[in-house]
Structure 1
């Protein structure tokens, strides 16, 4: 198996995982990527993210 085949296979698996995450999140009404980004941002003063104000 060539190295390029492994890279293409890895990218295909990654894209399939992203599609599954997006679909499962939309079924339950959540944007999982946005929730993950919000969890990694530092909280503003008072504990609320600045975008919520």
Structure 2
């Protein structure tokens, strides 16, 4: 298997995982990716507005 095939396969799996996460979040009424970003955002750090989306 060539290296480029592994890269393409990895990107395909990653995009499929993102779609599944978005669909699961939509079913439960939450944006799971935004929740993950908010969880990793430092509190009150300069340049990171708490109201920014």
TM-score range, shorter chain: 0.7 to 0.9
Q: Which structure carries more helix by proportion?
A: 1
Give the TM-score, by structure 2 length.
Answer: 0.80
Unaligned 5+ residue runs, structure 2? none
After the TM superposition, list the runs of 4 or more consecutive aligned residues in structure 1 that deviate by more than 6 angstroms.
none
> Matched residue pairs, number?
47
Unmatched 5+ stretches in structure 1: none
| TM-score, structure 1 normalization | 0.80
